[in-house]
Amino acid sequence: MKNPIENFIQDFMAYVRASDPHQLEFHQAVHEVIESLAPYLLDHPKYMKMKILERLVEPERVVHFRVPWLDDRGNIQVNRGFRVEMNSAIGPYKGGLRFHPTVTLSIMKFLAFEQVFKNSLTSLPMGGGKGGSDFDPKNKSDMEVMRFCQSFMTELFRHIGPNTDVPAGDIGVGGREIGFLFGQYKRVRNEFTGVLTGKGIEWGGSLIRPEATGYGTVYFAKEMMNTKGESLEGKVVCISGSGNVAQFAAQKVLELGGKVVTMSDSGGFIHDPDGIDPEKLAYIFQLKNEQRGRIKSYADKYGCPFYAGQRPWRIACDVALPCATENEIHEDDAAMLLKNGCQVVAEGANMPCTPEAVHLFLKARILYAPGKAANAGGVAVSGLEMAQNSMRLNWTREEVDDRLHTIMRTIHAMCLKHGQKRDGWINYVDGANIGGFVKVAQAMIAQGVV
Ligand code: NDP
């Protein structure tokens, strides 16, 4: 016989699956949240009566559009564009744009759903959204990327605005793409406004925004380790990815005395047992951000092993920071990390661990932080960028970094409040999900049936 909690989860997931049977990533994200929320909801029936969950899984609006553009040979290319405006109970929709061939509506909805809880945790007034395209910026010229971004924005501009919906970057959308998107928005709207975050520092961007997700993830790991009297000093750290989040996570780990031994991209991972020192990391920044090259070149340059087509989780480490993409730590990867003594996993990426991997980490009671808590630093500094744009002011680097640090500590405290069990163990998954839910749910109730 199933207990009421299991029954509730099963019934609700059947409802979600029936509505959108093929959206597997979205189901996965909802399931993870419902597992945490079920006991809380059964204790607080007002949320059920107000159908808060049913409303949370239904986007307020989904925009799906055609993005035609001309490649360098004059051929017409056609991609799909999306913007999922998930929930605006506590502020304008806020969340990144992803340009990657794997983008589907299911991926957009999972990311937008996660974003609602994450943004709530930051304590800033931001609702949740996400968008993007199946366009692949890899192997495209700057002019092709520009023409694509201009076409994308020529439709998106009518759905967004500084008080409505404020997109940012994500996979495949960095400073270059935000620049092209902003330029086109300004042109068609004839206004200079904070409609995107992650802007260049000369035209409305915030200091520390590029660093924020990676730094914030490491600040969060540091807070978790503090609860055990531990620090990053001397710890061996495995990082996946070598994009925006991975680069700045690595930089902060080095600053705090840790040793980063792996980084990766979709081609495979490098293992540098001597550690990626600041000089080698500077090479990775240049390789990835300027040459737009492959991580394998690091192995060729520094004479260390490169493992094609593999992920780094069989390398022994104290701390693992998955910073590439969803579902990159499977059950066997998690088992290997635990076997090799890993004690801390903080998700720089969104949903990088499969449900089976998460269950292993929770069962082993290691320090495991889900992305909606650990990687919230990026959107938090986006929120600070919006505040600076509204005030037409720029804060200093130190000021933004201090605020980021404080926000990550606040999120950690929120996880403690809602996730600490009677025996003292902290379930950060429960903490983040319940902590993120309460504020949004209260706002939805206050605003009536909308
Ligand atoms: P980037 O595009 O800068 O970097 C992504 C990195 O992940 C690259 O090294 C890329 O390799 C690798 N990668 C992407 N897809 C795959 C794949 N399917 N298999 C293996 N490797 C892959 O993106 P970000 O660093 O911005 O984002 C990384 C993660 O962090 C994502 O999950 C994103 O949603 C999340 N995140 C990002 C935030 C931000 O502020 N940027 C905020 C919060 C979360 P390759 O170049 O070969 O594709």
Query: CA–CA separation, 309 vs 304, rounded Å?
Result: 16
Q: Is 325 close to ligand 1, i.e. is its CB under 6 Å away? A: yes
Could you tell me the distance, in angstroms and rounded to a whole number, from the CA of residue 289 to the centre of ligand 1?
Answer: 13
Q: Which helix (H) or strand (E) segment is 41 a member of?
A: helix 24-43
Q: Is 242 close to ligand 1, i.e. is its CB under 6 Å away? A: yes
Mean pLDDT in residue range 116-123:
98
Asked about 130 being catalytic, the answer comes back as yes
Mean pLDDT in residue range 130-138:
98
Inform me whether the pLDDT recorded for 147 exceeds 70: yes
Long-range interactions of 160-165: CB distance < 8 A, separation 24+: 160/83, 160/185, 160/195, 161/193, 161/195, 162/92, 162/193, 162/194, 162/195, 162/386, 162/389, 162/390, 163/92, 164/92, 164/93, 165/83, 165/85, 165/92, 165/93, 165/94, 165/129
**Given 94, 109, 130, 199, the catalytic residue:** 130
Residue 399 to residues 122, 217, 263, 395, 441: CA-CA distances in angstroms? 17, 18, 30, 6, 31
Could you tell me the distance, in angstroms and rounded to a whole number, from the CA of residue 391 to the centre of ligand 1?
Answer: 31
Could you tell me the distance, in angstroms and rounded to a whole number, from the CA of residue 379 to the centre of ligand 1?
Answer: 15
| Close Cβ partners of 108 (under 8 Å, ≥ 6 residues apart) | 82, 83, 84, 98, 130, 131, 132
Query: CA–CA separation, 185 vs 153, rounded Å?
Result: 6
Q: How many other C-beta atoms can be found within 10 angstroms of the C-beta atom of residue 401? A: 18
CB 84 within 8 A of CB 112: yes
Q: Which residue's CA lies nearest to atom 5 of ligand 1?
A: 243
Residue with the two structure tokens 């979205």? 26
Q: Is 172 close to ligand 1, i.e. is its CB under 6 Å away? A: yes
Q: Which helix (H) or strand (E) segment is 436 a member of?
A: helix 428-446
User: Tens of pLDDT along 292-303?
Assistant: 999 999 999 999
Mean pLDDT of the chain: 97
Q: Which residue's CA lies nearest to atom 38 of ligand 1?
A: 170
Q: What is the DSSP letter of 320?
A: E
| Close Cβ partners of 316 (under 8 Å, ≥ 6 residues apart) | 236, 340, 341, 342
- Atom of ligand 1 at shortest distance to CA of 212? 40
Q: Is 322 close to ligand 1, i.e. is its CB under 6 Å away? A: no
Q: Is 271 in a helix, a strand, or coil? A: strand
Q: Which residue's CA lies nearest to atom 28 of ligand 1?
A: 324
Q: Is 312 close to ligand 1, i.e. is its CB under 6 Å away? A: no
Q: Which residue's CA lies nearest to atom 17 of ligand 1?
A: 266
Inform me whether the pLDDT recorded for 96 exceeds 80: yes
First to last CA, the chain: 37
Q: Is 351 close to ligand 1, i.e. is its CB under 6 Å away? A: no
Question: How many residues are there in the chain?
Answer: 450
Amino acid (one-letter) located at 144: E
Inform me whether the pLDDT recorded for 316 exceeds 90: yes
Q: Is 167 close to ligand 1, i.e. is its CB under 6 Å away? A: no
Beta pairing class for 128-133 and 236-240: unpaired
Q: Which helix (H) or strand (E) segment is 319 a member of?
A: strand 319-322
Q: Where do runs of H (alpha helix) occur along 57-191?
A: 105-121, 142-156, 175-189
Q: What is the dihedral of CA 31, 124, 241, 144, to 10 degrees?
A: 110
Which is nearest to 385 in space by CA: 404, 358, 367, 366? 404
User: Tens of pLDDT along 176-210?
Assistant: 999 999 999 999 999 999 999 999 999 999 999 99
pLDDT of residue 93: 98
2 pLDDT tier (thresholds 50, 70, 90): confident
Query: CA–CA separation, 49 vs 33, rounded Å?
Result: 19
Which is nearest to 167 in space by CA: 126, 199, 196, 127? 196
Query: CA–CA separation, 268 vs 186, rounded Å?
Result: 39
- Atom of ligand 1 at shortest distance to CA of 111? 34
Could you tell me the distance, in angstroms and rounded to a whole number, from the CA of residue 295 to the centre of ligand 1?
Answer: 13
pLDDT of residue 11: 97
Distance of CA 389 to the CA centre of its chain: 23
Could you tell me the distance, in angstroms and rounded to a whole number, from the CA of residue 100 to the centre of ligand 1?
Answer: 10
Amino acid (one-letter) located at 346: A
Mean pLDDT in residue range 136-140:
96
User: Tens of pLDDT along 346-359?
Assistant: 999 999 999 999 99
Could you tell me the distance, in angstroms and rounded to a whole number, from the CA of residue 98 to the centre of ligand 1?
Answer: 9
Q: Which of 111, 145, 170 to mutate to test the pocket of ligand 1 (most atoms within 8 A of CB)?
A: 170
Query: CA–CA separation, 181 vs 173, rounded Å?
Result: 10
Could you tell me the distance, in angstroms and rounded to a whole number, from the CA of residue 113 to the centre of ligand 1?
Answer: 18
Inform me whether the pLDDT recorded for 1 exceeds 90: no
Q: Is 266 close to ligand 1, i.e. is its CB under 6 Å away? A: yes
User: Tens of pLDDT along 43-57?
Assistant: 999 999 999 999 999
User: Tens of pLDDT along 260-269?
Assistant: 999 999 999 9
Q: Is 348 close to ligand 1, i.e. is its CB under 6 Å away? A: yes
pTM, full prediction = 0.96
